[in-house]
């Protein structure tokens, strides 16, 4: 497996996306983002005077670089000098598009136009070339890399000058209307994008107010009696003191972090502490001592509770049985000894015992209070503890308590009950003290053991530990979900055919437009325009102009090829594109990597029988290019010729790269790689591709490429695990996806062996059973040279959906699952929220319905599918029937509208509104026009029909994979 960085020419295209209105972004700025220097004289070498981005030293260095080039032709020398000196231009930030690190990586002994661009389209691999004609086949190729018709600032050989424009006239005046009487120092718009804003007063009170529409006659909708937060106990308020600023974290919707900047008086509030900014004697000012008044920036836990309301208005759709360490709950047949949890629980016997010891050490004399505290302690074991503790397990010792205004799972006012039962009871090492000292209403009393000593009132206590806005809170008993009526199975799936190409991967364009990238198994990627619904249009794709062509690197055969692709979450800024594919080291010298069969996993390659004529680890992944062109992220040699999966996804919440890897094949995983914690086969990996260690560190840590390890990967708790591993026990995960509405729902379809195809709900450190289990049943391998794992030694997480082979093939042999997506489009409301998946052989499509909601429990229904009578392209009929034939269903796809696509051997199909197939859906409103998320832009490239997979047999997997980080560079 390998990950690498791609061609600079791609970046030229990528940047067009964010530069459509670049003229509005231009500003005199150097390539290192600093302001230009002011100079009185012209530089010695470069012809820049006044404002410039070079000082005399940089000017001298450019001169030395130029002299070293030994350019004999005066005309060419003049041109090259001007290009070198463009580094000094006051608009160099725009000219070099913030890629200064890459663009400055120029060898002074060779051409400016060679080092980072070898291997691009039109450029022969000639490392000794010094002439442009040796590096580029034509002027067209040269200019396609170094020029762009879409830029508003480009280099013409002379210092950049802006076009003179007639300055705007001064406005006639400013017209104001008064909409509120309050006096505020700060206003911040609500992070959810609504017509609301936060206003803070100087004394330290923050209000949330609704803003009136223009011309409505309305005023600020604000309730003075109900502040968002009150910091007056911490804030020192005087003429020049108070709350000076507030801000919301850019990822506020995910982390609920709110920041306030204010003054405090250490003589009045013990929490006002900090180093003094002045370390010498100064005269007291207005009677105050030096550094008596300080500036603080802080966040209270009680604020976070409210903040989470913003992202939890529909929390019921986000809740999932998950422990506070992000792991799935354990399954227990008996009740724990101390805590009253049975079945799914987040505690094992050791953790249960530790909670008991903690409880005994509290020495609570009152039985009623002891019962309340015990229940709060034991909430750690609740299968919804991740929600109860809101992923703040390190800071919080108390779950979010239900109050009299709580919604959702309980109407019990457990917070008031806790206060009234325990307020005057001594509790050693109280849960309610350590992390909350110094909060509003709480005197700093480190020796306090009673709630009444820690909190001034029940109101203060419950403002910290309860919230009226949570949909899951702790009521003193294990959390139970409200029963919901399960959705009815849909009447069927209506499809339209919009393309003839056969693809393995579809990824929506990162710019949010109605375009998507499609990749073929041989390794060609196309950019295609997606037609509007009901337009009669088809994929707008140009087969002669691929986005990128990796066929020289990719080993393509029935079970080999390009298996995955993904765009970096910050693609608009860094242009990074990733590809996962197979290569053959016997045919391509660049295909190199450590063999996955090695001594670390008790495997000897010399003892493995050649598979289909190939040698162990013959098939791998690599990229033979310079680091400035393509960065290899991951490379691994694979033992056999099947079961290598290869899909890659970026986590929507954490930004890490998830890499799906099969067990390597060989017939029922004979070496038990899937359960071997030292092997990366049969695993889901999670790596950080943004923080790359040095080459020496990579070697020292034994990494497989250029990546680092996220700090919260499961190996932190399980030292036996390889650090890359996120989940274990997979056979051949074929198509995984994150739910776009609930990122914690990470679904993977895993191809079965003999009897069962499964869908798994992936969680941190989860073990999904293979090869101890196949689906829900124990599996007995015929051969086990690598040993076995006992069922009792692992905590197996069983499938949430799936089907038996006999359901799709009477012989029970031809079955192979293809994972899909939760349906989140508005097109077919009768399948909203259902998980769609299919069988590779086109024998069935299923809809999984979660029952009850947020339980993680699903009921699957096999559903019919048919072709819309007005499909833009004629659908293929199933031989001998009047039904639709999809051929092989290789993958599902999802666009920026959340519409779902089926990528099949017979073409590309899209799910459309049911009425187009005469299906009855009472929720459908066919009169509502579909809206596209972005402008309809004709693609610059597309895809072609590279392989028609008629006669494809066996499970579609990869033999060895390349994970490439294809970086578009300048």
Is pLDDT of 203 > 50?
A: yes
Place of tokens 């499909």: 871
Indicate the SS3 state at residue 297.
strand
User: Looking at residue 192, what is its pLDDT?
Assistant: 79
Burial (CB < 10 A; 0-12, 13-18, 19+), residue 952, is middle
Taking only the tens place, the pLDDT of each residue in 871-889 is 999 998 877 666 799 999 9
The yes-or-no verdict on residue 221 having pLDDT over 60 is yes
Q: What is the structure's pLDDT at 162?
A: 74
Tokens of 433: 């003290």
Winning range, highest mean pLDDT, from 58-72, 262-276, 288-302: 58-72
- Segment among 14-23, 122-131, 178-187, 673-682 with least mean pLDDT: 14-23
Residue 883: the pLDDT is: 78
Burial of 643 (0-12, 13-18, 19+ CB in 10 A): buried
Cα dihedral 20, 26, 29, 32, rounded to 10, equals -10
Average pLDDT over residues 939-958: 31
Over residues 854-868, mean pLDDT: 94
How far is the C-alpha of 825 from the C-alpha of 840, rounded, in Å? 23
The per-residue pLDDT for 109 is 39
How confident is the model over 1-14, as a mean pLDDT? 39
Is the pLDDT at 621 greater than 50? The verdict is no
Q: 929 pLDDT band (50/70/90 cuts)?
A: very low
Confidence of residue 416 (pLDDT cuts 50, 70, 90): very high
Average pLDDT over residues 325-333: 88
pLDDT higher than 70, residue 542: yes
CB 258 within 8 A of CB 307: yes
Which pLDDT score is estimated for 159?
A: 86
What's residue 729's pLDDT?
97
pLDDT computed for residue 583 by the predictor:
78
Question: Cα separations (Å) of 101 from 97, 128, 720?
Answer: 11, 23, 39
Looking at residue 611, what is its pLDDT? 53
Confidence of residue 333 (pLDDT cuts 50, 70, 90): confident
Q: What pLDDT, on the 0 to 100 scale, is given for residue 97?
A: 67
pLDDT tier at 155, thresholds 50, 70, 90: confident
pLDDT band at 264 (very low <50, low <70, confident <90, very high): confident
Most confident of the ranges 91-105, 118-132, 569-583: 569-583
Res. 298 pLDDT band, cuts 50 70 90: low
Token pair, residue 849, equals 């319905």
Flag whether pLDDT at 672 surpasses 90. yes
CA distance 896 to 512: 6
The predicted structure's pLDDT at residue 639: 76
Q: What is the pLDDT of residue 360?
A: 95
Q: At 248, phi and psi to the nearest 5?
A: -105, 140
| Percent of the chain residues past pLDDT 70, beyond the cut | 74
- 10 Å Cβ neighbour count for 486? 13
d(CA 235, CA 269): 9
Question: For residues 176 and 437, which has the higher predicted lDDT (pLDDT)?
Answer: 176
Distance CA 854, CA 866 (A): 31
Kindly report which listed range (271-275, 726-730, 921-925) carries the lowest average pLDDT score: 271-275
**What is the pTM assigned to this prediction?**
0.65
Which of 204-218, 482-496, 689-703, 909-923 shows the lowest per-residue confidence on average (mean pLDDT)?
482-496
Which of the listed ranges 25-39, 49-63, 450-464 does the model predict with the highest average pLDDT?
49-63
Q: Average pLDDT, stretch 542-566?
A: 89
Residue 118's pLDDT is 34
pLDDT, one tens digit per residue, over 463-477 is: 888 876 566 889 999
With bands split at pLDDT 50, 70 and 90, how would you rate the model's confidence at 928? very low
- Indicate the pairing of strand 817-822 with strand 835-839: antiparallel
The total number of residues shown for the chain amounts to 970
Q: What is the pLDDT of residue 265?
A: 81
Region 838-862: what's the mean pLDDT? 93
Alpha carbon distance 947, 560 (integer Å): 13
**Residue 365 pLDDT level (bands cut at 50, 70, 90):** very high
Q: What is the mean pLDDT of residues 730-758?
A: 96
- Above 50 in pLDDT, residue 952? no
SS3 state at 364: coil
Q: Say how many C-beta atoms besides its own lie within 10 A of residue 123's C-beta.
A: 21
Q: Is 870 left (phi over 0), alpha (psi -120 to 50) or beta?
A: alpha
Q: What is the radius of gyration, based on Cα positions, of the chain?
A: 32
Question: Chain-wide mean pLDDT for the chain?
Answer: 79
Per DSSP, helices labelled H in 621-760 are: 695-701
Q: Output the pLDDT for position 804.
A: 94
| φ and ψ at residue 28, rounded to 5 degrees | -55, 110
Q: Are 864 and 791 in contact (CB under 8 A)?
A: no
Decide if 920 contacts 828 (C-beta within 8 A): no
With a cut of 70, say whether residue 965 has pLDDT above it. no
Q: What is the pLDDT of residue 27?
A: 80
- Higher pLDDT: 29 or 820? It is 820
In this prediction, residues 905-915 reach a mean pLDDT of 97
Name the one residue in this structure whose structure tokens are 């310079």. Answer: 626
**What is the structure's pLDDT at 761?**
97
> 757: burial class by Cβ within 10 Å (0-12, 13-18, 19+)?
buried
Structural contact between residues 680 and 596, judged by C-beta atoms closer than 8 angstroms? yes
What CA–CA distance (Å, rounded) separates 809 from 951? 17
- Least confident interval from 209-223, 915-929, 942-956: 942-956
Q: What pLDDT shows up at residue 312? A: 30
pLDDT of 910 reads 98
pLDDT tens digit sequence for 422-453: 999 999 877 886 444 334 444 444 466 888 88
* Nearest to 261, CA basis, from 308, 296, 289, 290: 296
Q: How far is residue 845 from each of residues 752, 762, 792, 841, measured CA to CA in Å?
A: 17, 21, 34, 10
Closest by CA to 568, choosing from 13, 924, 967, is 967
pLDDT mean over 812-827: 90
pLDDT at 306 over 60: no
Query: Nearest 5°: phi and psi at 143?
Result: -75, -25
Residue 48 to residues 64, 88, 103, Cα–Cα distance (Å) = 17, 7, 21
């Amino acid at each position: 497996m390998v990950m690498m960085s791609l061609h600079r020419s791609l970046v030229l295209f990528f940047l067009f996306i964010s530069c459509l209105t670049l003229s509005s972004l231009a500003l005199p700025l150097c390539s290192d983002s600093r302001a230009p220097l002011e100079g009185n004289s012209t530089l010695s070498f470069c012809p820049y005077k006044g404002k410039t981005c070079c000082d005399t030293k940089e000017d001298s260095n450019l001169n030395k670089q130029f002299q070293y080039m030994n350019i004999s032709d005066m005309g060419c020398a003049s041109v090259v000098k001007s290009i070198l000196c463009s580094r000094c231009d006051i608009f160099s930030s725009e000219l070099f598009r913030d890629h200064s690190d890459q663009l400055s990586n120029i060898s002074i002994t060779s051409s400016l136009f060679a080092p980072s661009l070898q291997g691009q389209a039109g450029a022969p691999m000639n490392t000794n070339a010094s002439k442009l004609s040796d590096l580029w086949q034509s002027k067209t190729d040269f200019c396609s890399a170094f020029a762009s018709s879409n830029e508003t600032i480009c280099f013409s050989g002379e210092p950049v000058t802006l076009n003179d424009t007639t300055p705007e006239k001064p406005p006639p005046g400013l017209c104001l209307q008064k909409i509120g009487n309050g006096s505020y120092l700060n206003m911040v718009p609500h992070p959810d994008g609504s017509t609301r804003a936060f206003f803070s007063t100087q004394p330290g009170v923050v209000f949330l107010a609704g803003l009136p529409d223009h011309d409505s006659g309305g005023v600020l909708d604000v309730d003075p009696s109900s502040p968002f937060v009150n910091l007056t106990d911490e804030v020192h308020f005087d003429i020049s003191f108070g709350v000076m600023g507030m801000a919301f974290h850019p990822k506020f919707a995910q982390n609920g972090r709110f920041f306030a900047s204010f003054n405090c008086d250490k003589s009045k509030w013990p929490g006002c502490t900090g180093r003094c900014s002045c370390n010498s004697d100064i005269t007291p000012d207005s009677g105050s001592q030096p550094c008596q008044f300080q500036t603080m920036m802080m966040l209270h836990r009680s604020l976070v509770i409210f903040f989470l309301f913003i992202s939890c208005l529909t929390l019921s759709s986000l809740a999932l049985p998950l422990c506070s360490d992000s792991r799935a709950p354990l399954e227990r047949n008996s009740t724990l000894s101390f805590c009253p949890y049975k079945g799914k629980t987040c505690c094992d016997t050791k953790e249960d015992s530790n909670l008991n010891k903690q409880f005994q050490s509290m020495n609570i004399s009152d039985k009623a209070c002891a019962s309340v505290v015990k229940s709060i302690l034991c909430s750690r074991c609740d299968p919804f503890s991740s929600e109860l503790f809101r992923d703040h397990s390190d800071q919080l010792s108390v779950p979010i308590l239900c109050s009299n205004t709580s919604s959702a799972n309980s109407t019990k006012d457990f917070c008031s009950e806790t206060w009234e039962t325990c307020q005057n009871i001594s509790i050693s090492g109280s849960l309610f003290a350590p992390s909350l000292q110094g909060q509003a209403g709480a005197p700093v009393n480190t020796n306090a053991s009673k709630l009444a000593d820690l909190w001034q009132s029940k109101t203060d206590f419950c403002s910290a530990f309860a919230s009226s806005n949570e949909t899951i809170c702790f009521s003193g008993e294990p959390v139970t979900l409200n029963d919901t009526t399960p959705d009815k199975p849909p009447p069927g799936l209506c499809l339209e055919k919009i393309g003839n190409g056969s693809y393995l991967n579809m990824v929506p364009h990162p710019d949010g437009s109605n375009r998507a990238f499609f990749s073929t198994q041989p390794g060609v990627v196309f950019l295609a325009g997606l037609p509007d619904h009901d337009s009669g249009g088809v994929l707008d794709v140009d087969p002669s102009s691929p986005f990128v062509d990796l066929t020289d690197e990719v080993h393509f055969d029935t079970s080999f090829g390009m298996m995955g692709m993904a765009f970096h979450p910050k693609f608009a800024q860094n242009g990074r594109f990733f590809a996962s594919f197979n290569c053959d080291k016997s045919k391509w010298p660049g295909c190199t990597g450590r063999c996955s069969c090695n001594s670390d996993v008790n495997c000897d390659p010399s003892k493995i029988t050649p598979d289909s004529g190939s040698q162990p680890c013959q098939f791998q992944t690599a990229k033979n290019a310079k680091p400035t062109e393509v960065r290899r992220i991951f490379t691994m040699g694979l033992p056999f010729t099947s079961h290598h999966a290869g899909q890659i996804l970026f986590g929507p919440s954490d930004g890490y790269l998830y890499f799906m890897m099969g067990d390597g094949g060989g017939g029922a995983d004979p070496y038990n790689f899937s359960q071997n914690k030292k092997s990366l086969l049969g695993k889901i990996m999670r790596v950080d591709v943004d923080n790359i260690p040095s080459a020496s560190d990579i070697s020292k840590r034994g990494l497989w490429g250029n990546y680092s390890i996220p700090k919260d990967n499961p190996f932190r708790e399980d030292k036996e695990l390889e650090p890359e591993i996120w989940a274990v026990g997979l056979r051949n995960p074929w198509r995984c996806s994150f739910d776009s509405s609930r990122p914690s729902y990470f679904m993977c379809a895993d191809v079965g062996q003999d009897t069962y195809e499964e869908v798994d709900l992936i969680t941190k450190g989860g073990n999904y059973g293979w090869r101890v289990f196949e689906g829900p049943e124990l599996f007995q391998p015929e051969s086990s040279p690598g040993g076995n794992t006992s069922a009792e030694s692992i905590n197996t997480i069983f499938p949430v959906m799936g089907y038996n082979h006999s359901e799709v093939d009477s012989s029970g042999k031809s079955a192979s699952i293809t994972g899909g997506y939760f349906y989140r489009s508005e097109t077919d409301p009768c399948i909203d929220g259902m998980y769609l998946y299919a069988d590779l052989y086109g024998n069935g499509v299923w809809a999984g319905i979660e029952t009850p909601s947020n339980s993680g429990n699903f009921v699957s229904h096999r559903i019919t599918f048919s072709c819309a009578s007005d499909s833009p392209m004629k659908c293929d009929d199933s031989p001998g029937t009047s039904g639709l034939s999809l051929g092989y269903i290789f993958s599902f796809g999802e666009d920026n509208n959340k519409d779902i696509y089926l990528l099949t051997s017979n073409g590309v199909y899209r799910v459309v509104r049911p009425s187009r197939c005469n299906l009855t859906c009472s929720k459908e409103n066919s009169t509502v026009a579909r809206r596209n998320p972005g402008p309809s832009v004709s693609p610059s490239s597309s895809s072609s029909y590279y392989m028609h997979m008629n006669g494809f047999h066996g499970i579609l997997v990869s033999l060895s994979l390349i994970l490439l980080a294809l970086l578009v560079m300048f």
